Amino acid sequence: MGSSDFSWKLPDHPKLPKGKTVAVVVLDGWGEANPDEYNCIHVAQTPTMDSLKKGAPEKWRLVRAHGKAVGLPTEDDMGNSEVGHNALGAGRIFAQGAKLVDLALASGKIYEGEGFKYIKESFDQGTLHLIGLLSDGGVHSRLDQLQLLLKGCSENGAKRIRVHILTDGRDVLDGSSVGFVETLENDLAQLRAKGVDAQIASGGGRMNVTMDRYENDWGVVKRGWDAQVLGEAPHKFRSALEAVKKLREEPKANDQYLPPFVIVDESGKAVGPIVDGDAVVTFNFRADRMVMIAKALEYQDFDKFDRVRVPKIRYAGMLQYDGELKLPNHYLVSPPEIERTSGEYLVHNGVRTFACSETVKFGHVTFFWNGNRSGYFNPSMEEYVEIPSDSGITFNVQPKMKALEIAEKTRDAILSRKFDQVRVNLPNGDMVGHTGDIEATVVACKAADEAVKMILDAIEQVGGIYVVTADHGNAEDMVKRNKSGQPLLDKDGKIQILTSHTLQPVPIAIGGPGLASGVRFRKDVPDGGLANVAATVMNLHGFEAPSDYETTLIEVVDN
């Protein structure tokens, strides 16, 4: 689109009116799958979502939420919140971080960029530290990308490398950390054989160490800082393999929550604290869970915890994690340029917007929705409300989370008539689904359904419109399956719990008293995905979507 013919002004929709309150409800981790005992959405009492599904067939359908439909490299890539909310908010499909890093590594361009040249200046005198999630989950990072990066860095002059691992068990099976550490150890041994001093230096579970998000619990980042930078942790081991194996023996231990550990030499000294003159790369491509550590590594002024010692380092992110904050300043791969999002258009066209979730998903309906951009487009037109999440717990002990509070705030926003769009994320199905606790996930789904009801009731009262959808699957399938769909058993004959997202499609339902008669889902967009939702929502606000947006899912027939 040339800049001369660009305009924020959206054309009027030829048939649909303006001025209706539109509620956009995103159920996090709520896919559609066969109804069996491992489908927590099916097992739970979800009368509101059931009634939408069983209602008018032209007002409920499924949309794609994984793989290429959301800009991921392959159809084997499950959906996730970042790409899902990016697609929902931006109305177009952008090649996402995972894909951009693949391309930069394959072409070697990653080593020619400004970010790599910057960290390379430390290779002669200092150590290169790589910090990130060690798995092949493909949501935040990928093992094969780390492997290529290790090879590329050593070929480009890194002589001393320390890897600080975060174990997963959330995007991959619990217990798989052991195999990933073995693989990494093999690679590092090969580097050592070539004369590179390469070792794992510290570690810990992703939910306990480093990868907090949206400032829910800085203690998580501090535990990482202490291990990675200061070389201090409650657990010390001679090898990472020994560390994960031993720590997993503790009762109830799992990969996601392993405590922090450091690797020490024969004299008990940490093998890889971060010191002056070193280079650091955080190798996750996904933004939300890297922003906090990036601030700790980069900011001079920082008061979230006592860093004790702040080494003078050259730091680069795999990507720039926040375009608005320019955080971090240096990065190896340019992030997708997600501009002209639907939120920005709507604000320019007079749509007053309210967005709400609890802390753990707050950035999903704001930051991700707006193309990984923090802050308001126009503070006089928008209000973003964050309900504080519980911290320091796994959400299976509190499966209702803050669903009721989110629904109440949203109801009040609707009834206040101060907003044209209210947008919420209900985290329960996803956050509790990730714990692998099936019973708790059933409770979570019921709570999310009750929240939807409260929001739809308010929409009913003001004569508004609702759009209810989800960002990817999770709670609808809690078991690992073989190719023919049968649950897989472990060596003790127990089912293998699936804590991750899925490849399933998600529902989308429209309705409400304000929905003009004759509005229905088109039949000619059978492969519709999350990126088609933005144009749909723009239509419901009475506007045509920009011509380069993915097409709308709805049509208006005369009746």
Ligand X SMILES: O=C(O)[C@@H](CO)OP(=O)(O)O
Q: Write the interaction track for Mn ion spanning residues 432-471; mark x where CB under 5 A is met and - where it is not.
A: ---------------------------------------x
What does the per-residue mask of binding to ligand X show for 521-550, with x meaning CB under 6 A? ------------------------------
- The CB-of-47 to ligand X minimum distance in angstroms stands at 25
Residue 473 buriedness (CB in 10 A; 0-12 / 13-18 / 19+): buried
In this structure, how many other beta carbons lie within 10 angstroms of the beta carbon of residue 252? 6
Q: Determine, following the binding rule CB under 6 A, whether residue 139 of this chain makes contact with ligand X.
A: yes
Give residue for tokens 């999310």.
448
Query: Please, which residue, 162 or 289, has the CB nearer to ligand X?
Result: 289
Q: How far is the CB of 502 from ligand X (least distance, A)?
A: 11
Q: Does residue 217 bind ligand X (CB under 6 A)?
A: no
**Contacting ligand X (CB under 6 A), which of 289, 314, 400, 409?**
289
236 with 265: CB under 8 angstroms? no
547 is annotated as contributing to ligand binding: no
**What, of ligand X, Mn ion, none, does residue 289 touch, CB below 5 to 8 Å by kind?**
ligand X
Sheet holding 421-426, edge to edge: 60-63, 506-511, 465-470, 22-27, 421-426, 353-358, 382-387
- Enumerate the β-bridge partners of residue 22: 421, 465
CA-to-CA dists, residue 308 to 130, 228, 231, 503, angstroms: 21, 13, 12, 44
SS3 for 181-198 is: HHHHHHHHHHHHHCCCEE
Query: Which DSSP state fits 392?
Result: S
Nearest to 92 by CA among 371, 374, 423: 371
> CA of 447: how far to CAs of 276, 290, 356, 360, 467, in Å?
50, 30, 17, 17, 19
Q: Which stretch binds Mn ion (CB under 5 A): 153-161, 249-257, 427-435, 544-552?
A: 427-435
Closer residue to ligand X in complex, CB, 29/126 = 29
Among 171, 226, 255, 550, binds ligand X (CB under 6 A): 171
Shortest Å, Cβ 28 to ligand X: 6
For residue 431, which phi and psi values (nearest 5 degrees)? -65, -35
Q: Indicate the angle between helix axes 533-540 and 81-90, nearest 10 degrees.
A: 40
Q: Measured from the CB of residue 314, what is the shortest distance to ligand X in angstroms?
A: 27
Whichever of 410 and 428 has its CB closer to ligand X, that residue is: 428
Q: Is 1 helix (H, G, I), strand (E, B) or coil?
A: coil
Which residue out of 81, 135, 154, 202 is catalytically annotated?
81
**501 has binding-site annotation:** yes
Which lies closer to Mn ion via its Cβ, residue 202 or residue 357?
A: 357
Q: Which is nearer to ligand X, 273 or 436 (CB)?
A: 436
Of the residues 28, 171, 344, 477, which one makes contact with Mn ion according to CB under 5 A: 28
**The two three-digit tokens of residue 515, written as one number:** 């929905």
Residue 255 assigned to a binding site: no
511 contacts 22 by C-beta, under 8 angstroms: no
Active site (annotated) includes residue 357: no
Binding mask 424-443 for ligand X (x = CB under 6 A): ------x-------------
User: x-or-dash pattern for Mn ion, window 468-507, by CB under 5 A?
Assistant: ---x------------------------------------
Q: Is 81 in the site for Mn ion (CB under 5 A)?
A: yes
**# residues contacting ligand X (CB under 6 A):** 10
Neighbour tally for 490: CB within 10 Å:
12
Instruction: Give the residue among 171, 248, 158 at the shortest CA–CA distance from 203.
Output: 248
Residues acting as catalytic residues: 81
- The footprint of Mn ion (CB under 5 A) covers 28, 81, 430, 471
Q: Which residues are annotated as a binding site?
A: 28, 81, 140, 170-171, 206, 213, 286-289, 361, 430, 434, 471-472, 501
Residue ranges binding ligand X (CB under 6 A):
28-29, 80-81, 139-140, 170-171, 289, 430
